Amino acid sequence: MAPKSSLFFIVLTALLIVMLLIAIAFGAVSILPSEMWSALKHGFTGKEPATIYESVFIQLRLPRVLLCAITGAILAVSGVLMQGLFRNPVVEPGLVGTSAGAAFGASIVFSLSPFMSPSFKSVLGPFMVPLFAFVGGLVATYLVYSIAKDKKHISILSLLLVGMAMNAIGLSGVGLMTYIARDPQARSITFWNLGTFSGANWFQVFVTGIMAVVCFWLAQRQAKKLNVLLLGDQEAGHLGVDVKKLKTNILILNTAMVSVATAFVGVIAFMGLIVPHVLRLLIGSDHKKLIPASILMGALLLTIADVGARLLLAPAELPIGIITSIVGAPLYIFLLKKFQLNQTN
Amino acid sequence: MLEVQNLQYQIGKQAILNDISVQFQPGLCHLIVGPNGSGKSTFIKIVSAEIEAYQGKVLYQGKDAKKITKQNLSQYRAVLSQHTELSFPMRVDEVVMLGRNPHFEIAPSKKDNQIVQDALDLLSLQNLAGRNYQTLSGGEKQRVQYARVLTQIWETPQEELRYLFLDEPLNNLDVYYQQQFLSIAQSFMNDATILIGVVHDINIAIRYAQQLYCFLNGKIVAQGVPETIVQPALLKQVFDIDTSIVNHPQTGKPIIIF
């Protein structure tokens, strides 16, 4: 690795650590480093937290910050994968139906769970939401992909248009579920449309964390093939890449991690768009660097957005999706415009 | 030797290639000409093992091409097609390095780097090495792709032949580079190399081909040394044009005047 890019990784890691500490310390209540330390000691030795600050830290703040960072990393890596797969800089999971499909799947569990048989629920247990989200995300993504595909060619315009339609279907599905849901379930569904970390708990951290580690590792193993795919399907085939298999793998991998993240925190748009774009400008298009860098930068940016969400209207809280959309949507329009120009040239 | 036996290919009910049997010997420049829709491009896609849904046999040194793994094949078979665009910024030397991908596991070795440098030199691309591929002109892009394709089979494998397929690679190039492309292909040639190319310009094909193949309606209607097979009657049959043929004052090869 070139010295320039290793320096880049060191700086990015340092920034992330600092930002994580800031995110843990500040919020509706501030937590001192000494309190964090003693809370961690108590946590590991199995004792009860000694003060209210310690329990806020252990039970609320820490899982929230970690879930946020993991989600940010997932969405950023997903953006890199989707863009590499479609060879297009304006693709991200929120735009091709993955997130909406996953939200729909999860909302089914939330609103219909009172009607499901107890034995069915006990088999799947807490994995019901991620599982339904995964199926919903996969079906939606696959449908968008296969409808937009015209013989061999996949046009970006039809991809985005079909994605828009799929988003509308997914979100009206969520709306329907909200309508038939009882009041407490309805509230948790509403949160998704904008994304939230306020309900974060350790279970969610572990599920997304394990999912993220496995998927990142698998994604990194595809990095070299994704580089070759930049040349196009035909050329990648000539260079010995099984393009069909690669695409299927990436699509499943991507859907798995995005769906799980979406199931817990809702739809956070544009993260997968911003991070890869910025990184390509900084370190180029090599996926071997792009994937690890997007893990770090995705975690960093979403943590910043979450601190913003907590502090801007404190003690009230903004849905984080609003912040990412305010920043992401203009960038998206800019990229779309630029891409259009490139294509007509 | 690359051998094609009773090759049939159709899309739906329409026959694209019709019972073609032909052998390509190593060490010779094999060029294919023919009108649009004569099946020459499809033929290249089949013999380079890109399309597999055909009847008949394509044999690489006697081995059925369908039975060779893609990965294995990619170490000694390269294909240059018409034009390749990138959606993301990438440096020219990075693009060329992609050609070495079949030869390393994780990171390129010193040898891979050296080969990329040599290929950049060969195509006079050294001063573009650090440029963003997207900002190049059509002809420059094509030269970069040529360099990438050559790096893929830069070394002659020990037990296999190497195979270079050119699928109408000259379309974006001006006359100088059209000539340069084929001279480089000639200099790349050795006893362990099979070169098959589709070329649009019949005069260029005559000048560089050692074996010329004329495609018409999915069949090879003439093949052989250009000097002997290129006749006004054949050109009338294949391209439906009336021509005169004169000899090049220096090379003595036939030149077609339309």
User: Is pLDDT at A121 greater than 70 in this prediction?
Assistant: no
Q: Which residues of A touch B98 (CB under 8 A)?
A: 227-228, 230-231, 239
> What pLDDT is stored for residue A156 in this prediction?
67
**Residue A344, pLDDT score:** 46
Most confident of the ranges A180-184, A277-281, B110-114, B250-254: B110-114
Q: Please answer yes or no on whether B101 and A284 come within 8 Å at the CB atom.
A: no
Read out DSSP for B189-256?
--TTEEEEEE-S-HHHHHHH-SEEEEEETTEEEEEE-HHHH--HHHHHHHH----EEEE-TTT--EEE
Determine if the peptide bond prior to A315 is cis (ω within 30°).
yes
Q: In whole angstroms, give the CA distance from residue A5 to residue A10.
A: 9
pLDDT of residue B122: 92
Which residue of chain A comes nearest to B141, CA vs CA? Answer: A231
Q: What is the mean pLDDT of residues B189-195?
A: 91
Residue of A227, A239, A339 lying closest to B74 (CB–CB): A239
pLDDT of residue A13: 95
Q: Is A248 on the interface with B (CB under 8 A)?
A: no
| Pairing mode of beta strands B211-216, B29-33 | parallel
Is residue A239 within 8 angstroms of chain B, CB to CB? yes
Q: Which of A107-111, A334-338, B62-66 has the lowest mean pLDDT?
A: A334-338
Residues in contact with B155: Cβ distance below 8 Å, sequence separation at least 6, in sequence order: B115
At residue B147 the predicted structure's pLDDT band, cuts being 50, 70 and 90, is: very high
Q: What mean pLDDT is predicted for residues B34-59?
A: 92
pLDDT digits (tens, 9 = 90+) for B66-85: 999 998 999 999 999 887 88
Query: pLDDT, tens digit, for every residue of A300-318?
Result: 999 999 898 888 877 777 8
**To which CATH superfamily is domain A3-344 assigned?**
ABC transporter involved in vitamin B12 uptake, BtuC (1.10.3470.10)
The number of C-beta contacts closer than 8 angstroms across A and B is 69
Q: What is the pLDDT of residue A192?
A: 63
To the nearest whole Å, the CA of A183 is away from the closest chain B CA by: 47
Residues of A in contact with B152 (CB under 8 A): 238-239
Looking at chain B, the whole-number percentage of residues with pLDDT higher than 70 is 100
Cβ–Cβ of A238/B95 closer than 8 Å? no
Domain ranges of chain B: 1-68+193-258
pLDDT digits (tens, 9 = 90+) for A214-223: 999 999 999 9
Angle among Cα A145, A298, A102 to the nearest 5 degrees reads: 40
Residues B84, A286: C-beta atoms closer than 8 Å? no
> Which residue of B68, B73, B82, B87 is the best one to mutate when testing the A interface, meaning the one whose CB has the most A CBs within 10 A?
B87
How far apart are alpha carbons A218 and A179 in whole angstroms?
39
Q: Is the pLDDT of residue B171 over 60?
A: yes
Condensed to tens digits (0 to 9), the pLDDT of residues A61-77 reads: 889 999 999 999 999 99
Q: Which residues of A touch B71 (CB under 8 A)?
A: 240
Q: Is A241 on the interface with B (CB under 8 A)?
A: yes
A119 Cβ contact list (under 8 Å, min separation 6): none
Q: Is the pLDDT of residue A37 over 80?
A: no
How far, in Å, CA of B66 to CA of B47, rounded?
10
Segment B50-54 shows an average pLDDT of 90
Give the residue carrying structure tokens 């600050």: A53
- CB contacts of B47 in chain A (<8 Å) are none
Chain A residue nearest residue B99, CA to CA = A239
Q: What are phi and psi of A293, to 5 degrees?
A: -65, -35
Superfamily, domain B1-68+193-258:
P-loop containing nucleotide triphosphate hydrolases (3.40.50.300)
The tokens for A167 are 């988003």
CA dihedral for B40, B44, B46, B51, sign (positive or negative): negative
Rounded-to-integer distance, Cα B212 and Cα B33, Å: 8
Nearest in space to B93 (alpha carbons), one of B122, B125, B124: B125
> CB contact, 8 Å: A33 with chain B?
no
Across residues B90-110, what is the average pLDDT? Answer: 92
Rg (CA), chain A: 20
Q: Which one of B74, B81, B98 has the shortest CB-CB distance to A234? A: B81
The CA distances from residue B71 to A39, B75, B81, in Å, are 54, 7, 19
Backbone angles phi, psi at A231, to 5 degrees: -75, -15
B91 closest CB neighbour out of A235, A284, A339: A284
| Whole-model pTM over 0.80 | yes
* A286 neighbourhood in chain B, CB within 8 Å: 94
Q: What is the pLDDT of residues A221-257, one digit of tens each?
A: 999 999 999 998 889 999 999 988 898 888 888 888 8
User: What are the boundaries of each domain within chain A?
Assistant: 3-344
Instruction: Quote ipTM for the complex.
Output: 0.89
Per-residue pLDDT for B253 more than 50?
Answer: yes
Q: Please give the pLDDT value at position B142.
A: 92
Q: Using CA atoms, how far apart are residues B194 and B25, in angstroms rounded to an integer?
A: 7
B89/A228 touch (CB, cutoff 8 Å), yes or no: no
Q: Which of A88, A231, A342 has its CB closest to that of B98?
A: A231
Percent of chain B with pLDDT over 90: 59
- Give the Cβ contact number of residue B250 at 10 Å: 6
Residues of A in contact with B73 (CB under 8 A): 240
Mean pLDDT for the stretch of residues B150-155: 94
Q: For residue A239, which residues of chain B lie inside 8 Å, CB to CB?
A: 74, 98-99, 101-102, 152
